[in-house]
Amino acid sequence: MRCEIVAVGTELLLGQVVDTNSTWLAEQLALHGVDCHFQTRVGDNLARIEEALRAALARSEIVITCGGLGPTQDDLTREAIAQTMRVPLKRDPLLIKRITAVFAERNRPFLDNNAQQADVPDGALPMATLPGTAPGLICPFGAKRIYALPGVPWEMQTMFLAEVLPDIKRLADTASVIQSHTFYCWGQGESAIASRLADRFDALDRKPNPTIAFLADERLGIRVRLTAKAANATRARLTGKLRAQPRQMGLSVTKLRQFYLSTPLCGACPRRENF
């Protein structure tokens, strides 16, 4: 199953806010074996948000948006989703009551513009979890889904774990594991290490699974990351021979760090590190 993240907000494009939401969501998706091949950031522009949504739906079965669900004029995600679905927005009176109750609990006035947070694309469902004043949305698009989450990180994370992740598990209906092993190599540059591993890289590159990547780190040297995805940890586990490959090829490996980035969709999500 493929998922694409669309982060909405002109502040992201201007560099005024770092997009930590997409990073957190991508980590959670990897932990549960969901492929995330694309991430998009788009400003507060109705046409461009719709364009980003249509592009994401063309590539992925699931799209998660974060941001643009507030009460102001530049909060356009709801309207963009409705236009993408080609349905009208409908104001949900029960949702207004829920939002009003949140304001009352915080001793804040419910203003007229807050009512637009109860606008829901026809056919979409508001999420039951409401940690703030911006309701999340589950929006069917044929066999696909758009999940709209608020941009406030703690609200987004709460809704994702309570609403989105369980729904993704139901849609996936299969277990999946992503597992990575990272070698830390010191004393040679990225190009030299890549050259030494060229044959191995070419062999892996002809197959979609596993994959190999090189990442430069000024503090830790060069990282060589090997990543596999399979139905279970046994199949995904990289063999000892492959794990020993850098040493066999004469590379100076300072540390081997083994990451378990994912667990089956059912069950707990432990993370283990071996050095």
pLDDT digits (tens), the chain, 275 positions? 899 999 999 999 999 999 999 999 998 988 788 889 999 999 999 999 999 999 999 999 999 999 999 999 999 999 999 999 999 999 999 999 999 999 999 999 999 999 999 999 999 999 999 999 999 999 999 999 999 999 999 999 999 999 999 999 888 866 676 777 777 776 677 777 777 777 766 666 666 677 777 777 776 677 777 777 776 666 666 543 344 455 544 554 444 444 333 333 333 333 333 32
What CATH number is attached to the domain comprising 247? 3.30.70.2860
Of 172, 195, 210, the one marking the end of a domain is: 172
Residue 140: closest CA among 122, 156, 165: 122
Mapped onto helix, strand or coil, the DSSP state of residue 100 is helix
Same domain, 261 and 224: yes
Same domain, yes or no: 95 and 51: yes
What pLDDT is recorded for position 190?
A: 75
Q: What is the pLDDT at residue 203? A: 66
pLDDT at 260: 35
Assess whether 113 and 201 both reside in one domain: no
**214 and 102 fall within a common domain:** no
Which of 183, 272, 260 is CA-nearest to residue 220? 183
Domains held by the chain: number? 2
Residue numbers of the domain that contains 198: 177-274
Q: Assess whether 152 and 232 both reside in one domain.
A: no
Q: What is the pLDDT of residue 216?
A: 78
Q: How far apart are CA 10 and CA 131, in angstroms?
A: 24
Pick the last residue of a domain from 156, 172, 188.
172
The reply to whether 25 and 88 lie within a common domain is yes
Per-residue model confidence (pLDDT) at position 204: 62
Sole residue written with tokens 């400003």: 43
Q: What is the pLDDT of residue 112?
A: 93
What pLDDT does 262 receive?
Answer: 33
Residue 34: how many CB atoms within 10 A of its CB? 25
Predicted local confidence at residue 236, as pLDDT? 61
In the chain, alpha helices (H): 10-13, 20-31, 46-59, 77-85, 93-105, 153-159, 165-172, 190-196, 198-205, 233-236, 240-243, 245-248
In this structure, the answer to whether residues 168 and 181 fall within a common structural domain is no
Distance CA(238)–CA(60), nearest Å, equals: 28
Distance between CA atoms of 63 and 168, rounded to whole angstroms? 11
CATH code, domain carrying 45 = 3.40.980.10
Same domain, 166 and 205: no
* Cα atoms in the 13 Å half-sphere on the side-chain side of 183: 24
At which of 149, 172, 195 does a domain end? 172
Q: What pLDDT does residue 54 have?
A: 98
For residues 220 and 262, state if they share a domain: yes
- Residues 165, 193 within the same domain: no
Of 248, 198, 208, residue with least CA distance to 229: 208
104 & 193 share domain: no
Assign residue 187 a region (left: φ > 0; alpha: ψ between -120 and 50; beta: otherwise).
left
If asked whether residues 80 and 200 sit together in one domain, one would say no
